[in-house]
Amino acid sequence: MASPTPQLWLLMFAVVGVQLVGGYSFHNCIAEPHSNRKSFSCKCRRDEHVSAIVNDLPRSVVNLTIIFNPLRRIPNNSFVHLPNLQNLRLDQNQLSDFDSLAFRNLHQLKYLNLSFNHFSELRASLFEDLHNLTDLSLANNKLKKFPEGIFFGVHNLNTLLLRNNCLINFSEIVKSVSHLKKLKTLDLCSNNLTSLHHSNVSLPQSLSMLFLCRNNLHTLGCKLSFLKFVNLLDLSNNLRLHTKAFQGVDLSSLRSLRLKSTKVKIAKFLNISNINAGSVDFSGTGLKTPSHIMELCKILKTRLKRIKHVRLHYNGIKNLTNVKLSHCPKITGFLDLSFNGLKSIECLHFLYNQAGITKFIVEHNHLSSLPYCKKQKMFPFKSLDELNYRYNRIQSVGAWAFIQTPNIRILKLNINTIALLHPKAFLGLKQLELLRLDNNLLTDLYQETFKENVNLKILHLRNNRISVIFKGTFCNLKNLNTLDLGGNKITHFQQSGLDGLKSLSKLYLDGNNLKQIDSSFYYAFQDTLTVLDLASNQIRFFKEKSISPFAKLRKLTDLKLNGQRNYGLTVLPHTLFRGLHSLNSLYLTHNNIVHLPPDAFDDLTGLRFLTLDNCCAGVTQLEPGIFKNLRNLTTLILENMGLQNFSKEVFGNLTQLRVLQMNRNVMQSIPVDALESLPKLNYLDLRNIPLSCTCQNKFLQNYTVNSPNVQVVYLYNLICQQDKRLKFHNFDTKVCYIDLGKYMFFSTAAAVFLFTLIPLLYVKLYWKIKYSYYVFRSWFSDHWSRLREKEENCKYDAFISYNFSDEEWVMNELLPNLEGNGSFFKLCLHHRDFELGRNIVDNIVSAVYSSRKTICVLSRNFLRSEWCSLEIQLASYRLFDEHRDVLLLVVLEPISERQLSSYHRMRKVMLKKTYLQWPGSDCSNPLQAQELFWNKLRRAMKAGSKLEREEDDENKDFET
C-alpha cells in the first residue's frame, strides 16, 4: 500500500486534534461558573464508581466536591489525573473502603473531607502521598482504630477531625499523631475513649486544641506533663470524669478548659490543680444557686485580681437577686450567662462593682422584660460595649431600660417577643451603632424611638408587624447605613416617613405590603442608596408610566423587584429602569409580566447579573435587541420563562456573558448562531428543555459536544424529546448531512461521466480487453504456459497473417520465395497448419506465440477482416507491451492515409515500424525490385526478435 501523502497526514492530525480539544462538558460534574475550570461539584449522581464521576475532569481542578453519591469504594489511582487538587470533599457518600493508593499523586492536596461515610478501618498507606495536607476530616464514620503509621506522610497536618467515631484506644491515637509537628487541632469528641492512658510517646508540642467531649473518660490516666502544651481542652460531657483525675496534671498552659457535665467539683478542682483559674469555663459545673456562685467568686478572688471572661452556661441559674458579683475578681472581658433559666436581669444590679465588663450576654434564657431602670441609684457601666439578650421571651422593654449602659455600641434584642417597646426605651444610647430588633412582634415605631441614636449605622427591624412608617421615625438617624424593614406589613410610608436618612445605602423593604413604588421617598437617597430590595410586595402596574421612580438613584447597584405577591408586576413599564446606569444586579423573577418591552433594559449599561427566572406570564417572546446595551452582563438567567424560540439578534451585544441559564423552557431548538455570538460564554444550562433530536438541531448537537469553551451542564444526560431513551448528545445526524440536491448532482455527474467514458474506452481499449479476455481464459485453461514454452523453441519462423482474398499471392509468391528458392524458413499458414477442431482464437494465439515473427500481408481486404486484426493485435501487443519485435508488415497494395485512419492501431504500428511494399508488376523493372523485396524480407526474418538499438538502426535499410 502506498504511504499516506502529507495532505492525508495533515487531515488525520486535524481529526485527532479536534477530538483532543473536543468539547467541554462533563458527565457527572458541574464546573462552577466563574471558577475558570478550577472548582467542580458532583452532587447527587447515581454512579457508584468514582471513576465515572471524575474521569472526564481536566487537570486544572483545584476544588472538587463529590457529595451525596452512592459511592462505596475508592479504588487505587482514582485521582492521579488531578495532580492540582487542593480541596477534596468526599463527605456524605456511602464509602466504606479505600484502596491503599486511592489518593496517589495528590501532592498539592490541602483539605480532605471524608466525614459522614461508613468506613470502619483505613489502610496504612492511604495518605502516603498527601505531603501538603493540612486539614483532614474523618468525622462521623465508624472507625474503631487505625493502623500505626497511617499519618506518616502527612507531616503538614494542622487539623485532624475524628469526632463521632468508635475509637477506643487513646494510646494508639497518640502514637500515630505524635510526629505531626504542625498539628494544632485534634478533635476526638463523641468516641468511646475511657482514659488518656498512653505509652511513652507524647502529643506534638504544636497541639493547642484538644477536643475530648462526649467520651467515656472517667480518669485521665496520662503522664503529668502530657497536656503541658495544650491551650484549649474540651472534656465536657464525660459523665464519669471526677475531680481526682486532675491530681497533679500540669494544666498550666491552658487558656480554656471545658468541664461541662462531668463529675468535677469546681471548688475542689481549683484547689488541687495548677491551672490558671481564669481559664476554666464554668459552664455546666452545677453553680446553680447564689451561694455556689459567691463561693466560686471567693475562691477566684484568692487567686486572681482580675479575670478576663466568665462563662456560666448551663448552670440552671434562675434568680440573680441575691448574687453579688462584687466579691469576684474584676471581670475585664465578657460575662456570659446564656443557657440558664433567668427570668430577669433586674437592671444589672448584681453587677455592682463590676464596671469593667465589656460584654454581657444572656442568650437562651427566660427573660420576659427589660424594666424601667432610671430610678436605680447605680454607677453606669461605662465600659460595656455590647449587650446581648437574643433568644429570650422578652415582651416589653421599658423606658430608659439601658440607662446604665450608656456607651454600648451593639445591642441585640432579636428573636424575642417584644410587642411593647417604650418610645423612650433607647434614650441615652448615643453610641449605639448596631441595633437588632428583628424577629419580634413590634407594631409601631415612633418619632421618639430612635431619637437619640444618632450614631446608629445598622438597624434590623425584619420580621415584625410594622404596618405604617410614621412621619419622622428615622429623622435623626443621619448616620444610618443599613435599614432592614423586610418581612413586615408596611403598606405605606407617611409623608416624609423616610426623611433624615442622609447616609442610607441599603434599604430592605422586601416582604411587605407596598402596593406601589412611590418615587418621592427614594429621591432622598439619590446620592447614597446602593441596595434597594422591594421583593415580595404587592407592587403592580396597570399601564405604562412616563417617568421612572428610580430615575434619580444614580448609585443604585442592586435592585430586587422579584415575586410581587398575588398578581406580579403584570406590566413592566418600559421606562421603569431609566437612569440606573450603575445597576449591577437586577431581580425580576416570578412576576407574571405580560410583555418584556424591547427597550426596558436600555439604560442598564453597568448590569452584570440579570435574572428573569419565571418572570413572565405564559409564553414569552424575547424581542431582538432587548439586551443590546448590556455589554457588561456576565450572568443571564432565563429559566422557566416559557421561551419557545428566539433569534440571534436577542443576544446581540452580550460580549461579556459567561453564564447563561435557559433551563425549563419550551423551545425545541436553539439557533446556534445566537450562542456563537456570545464570545465569553462558558456555562450553559439547557436542562429540562424539550430539545428535539432532529436535523433541525444537528448544529446545536455539534456545538454542545465540540465547543471547546462552553460547558453544557450535564450535557450527557440531556434526553431527546421524542424518545426519552435517546440522548441528545449522540442522536444520529448522519442522515441530515445527505443533501438531496448534492445527491442528485453527484449521481448525474457520475452518469454523464460514465456515458462519456464508455465509448472512449470501447474505442481505445476494445482490443486490449478482448485480448486480455482471451489471455486470461487460456491462462486459466493452462494453455498459457504451454504457449510460452512453445515460443521458446519456436516451431515456426513466421506466422503468415493474410486475408483469404490475398491467398493467391501468398501461395504463388510468398511461399516459394521463403520456403523454397534457397530459403528454408518454416512458415505457418492457417489453412495448412492450424489444428482442426480447435477454437480459431486459440489457434491464432498459438500460432503467433509459436512463431518467431508474424508477417502481415496488408491489403484493403485484410484491414476489413476481424480475424486478421486480431492477429495484428496480438503481434502489436508483443511489440508494444512485451517489447518483442515480431511483426513484419508487407503492404500488398497502396493504402491511402484515409483508408488507414479508421484502423487506429494498425496506423500506430505502421508509424512505429517501417514496412515492406510489394513492388507488384507495374514498376519499370519489376523482377529486380521483387528480388530486392525478398532479400529484405529474408533479412528481416533472420533478425532477432529482441528490440535493440542496433536493430533499430539496421531497420532503416528497409525504408522504400
Ligand X SMILES: *[C@@H]1O[C@H](CO)[C@@H](O)[C@H](O)[C@H]1NC(C)=O
Q: Which residues bind ligand X (CB under 6 A)?
A: 35, 38-39, 62-63, 87, 107-108, 131-132, 166, 168, 192, 194, 216, 319, 321-322, 343-344
- Of 238 and 439, the one with the shorter C-beta distance to ligand X is 238
Q: In this structure, what DSSP letter does residue 620 have?
A: B
Identify the burial level of 93 via C-beta atoms within 10 angstroms of its C-beta, where 0-12 means exposed, 13-18 middle and 19 or more buried.
Answer: buried
- Of 31 and 534, the one with the shorter C-beta distance to ligand X is 31
User: CA distances (Å), 148 to each of 125, 135, 362, 705, 926, in order?
Assistant: 10, 19, 46, 48, 125
CB of 1 to ligand X, least distance (A): 50
602 phi/psi in degrees, rounded to 5: -60, -35
Please report where in the chains the cell 424560540 appears, as a residue.
645
- Of 194 and 407, the one with the shorter C-beta distance to ligand X is 194
- Of 75 and 341, the one with the shorter C-beta distance to ligand X is 341
15 phi/psi in degrees, rounded to 5: -65, -50
- Of 289 and 694, the one with the shorter C-beta distance to ligand X is 289
- Of 219 and 253, the one with the shorter C-beta distance to ligand X is 219
Query: What is the per-residue DSSP string for 717-773?
Result: G-B-SS-TTSBGGG---GGGG--HHHHHHHHHHHHHHHHHHHHHHHHHHHHHHHHHH
- Of 372 and 627, the one with the shorter C-beta distance to ligand X is 372
- Of 180 and 654, the one with the shorter C-beta distance to ligand X is 180
- Of 247 and 291, the one with the shorter C-beta distance to ligand X is 291
Helix (H, G, I), strand (E, B) or coil at 111: strand
Query: What is the per-residue DSSP string for 842-876?
Result: HHHHHHHHTEEEEEEEE-HHHHH-HHHHHHHHHHH
- Of 37 and 301, the one with the shorter C-beta distance to ligand X is 37
Q: Is the dihedral of CA 792, 794, 798, 800 positive or negative?
A: negative
- Of 191 and 803, the one with the shorter C-beta distance to ligand X is 191
Please check whether residue 363 is in contact with residue 337, taking contact to mean a CB–CB distance below 8 angstroms.
no
Q: Which of 391, 386, 425, 424 is CA-nearest to residue 405? A: 386
- Of 247 and 321, the one with the shorter C-beta distance to ligand X is 321
CB of 424 to ligand X, least distance (A): 24
Alpha helix stretches (DSSP H) within 22-93: 50-54
> What is the grid cell recorded at 355?
464596671
Helix (H) or strand (E) holding 40: strand 39-43
Please check whether residue 413 is in contact with residue 386, taking contact to mean a CB–CB distance below 8 angstroms.
no
CB of 513 to ligand X, least distance (A): 39
Give the number of other Cβ atoms within 10 Å of residue 516's Cβ: 12
Half-sphere exposure of 473 (CA within 13 A, CB side): 18
- Of 108 and 395, the one with the shorter C-beta distance to ligand X is 108
Cα end-to-end span (Å), the chain: 51
- Of 168 and 267, the one with the shorter C-beta distance to ligand X is 168
CB of 321 to ligand X, least distance (A): 4
Q: Which residues contact 411 (CB under 8 A, 6 or more apart)?
A: 386, 387, 402, 426, 429, 432, 434, 435, 436
CB of 108 to ligand X, least distance (A): 5
Helix (H) or strand (E) holding 272: helix 266-272
CB of 47 to ligand X, least distance (A): 23
Which residue, judged by CB position, is nearest to ligand X in the bound state?
131
Query: What is the per-residue DSSP string for 428-477?
Result: T-TT--EEE--SS------TTTTTT-TT--EEE--SS---EE-TTTTTT-
> What is the grid cell recorded at 464?
415584625
- Of 238 and 464, the one with the shorter C-beta distance to ligand X is 238
Helix (H) or strand (E) holding 98: strand 97-98
Please check whether residue 639 is in contact with residue 614, taking contact to mean a CB–CB distance below 8 angstroms.
yes
Distance CA(664)–CA(441), nearest Å, equals: 40
CB of 35 to ligand X, least distance (A): 4
CB of 100 to ligand X, least distance (A): 19
CB of 111 to ligand X, least distance (A): 8
CB of 193 to ligand X, least distance (A): 9
541-567 exposure pattern, b = at least 16 Cβ within 10 A, e = fewer: beeebeebbbbbbebbbbbbbbbbeee
CB of 204 to ligand X, least distance (A): 18
CB of 36 to ligand X, least distance (A): 7
Distance CA(833)–CA(843), nearest Å, equals: 9
Ramachandran area for residue 45 (φ above 0: left; ψ -120 to 50: alpha; else beta): beta
CB of 233 to ligand X, least distance (A): 22
- Of 192 and 935, the one with the shorter C-beta distance to ligand X is 192
CB of 389 to ligand X, least distance (A): 16
CB of 85 to ligand X, least distance (A): 10
CB of 194 to ligand X, least distance (A): 6
- Of 216 and 481, the one with the shorter C-beta distance to ligand X is 216
Please check whether residue 350 is in contact with residue 320, taking contact to mean a CB–CB distance below 8 angstroms.
yes
Distance CA(607)–CA(243), nearest Å, equals: 64
Distance CA(45)–CA(51), nearest Å, equals: 12
- Of 84 and 663, the one with the shorter C-beta distance to ligand X is 84
Helix (H, G, I), strand (E, B) or coil at 299: helix
Distance CA(241)–CA(244), nearest Å, equals: 9
231-267 exposure pattern, b = at least 16 Cβ within 10 A, e = fewer: bbbbbbbbeebbbebbeebbbeebebbbbbbbebebe
CB of 290 to ligand X, least distance (A): 8
CB of 166 to ligand X, least distance (A): 5
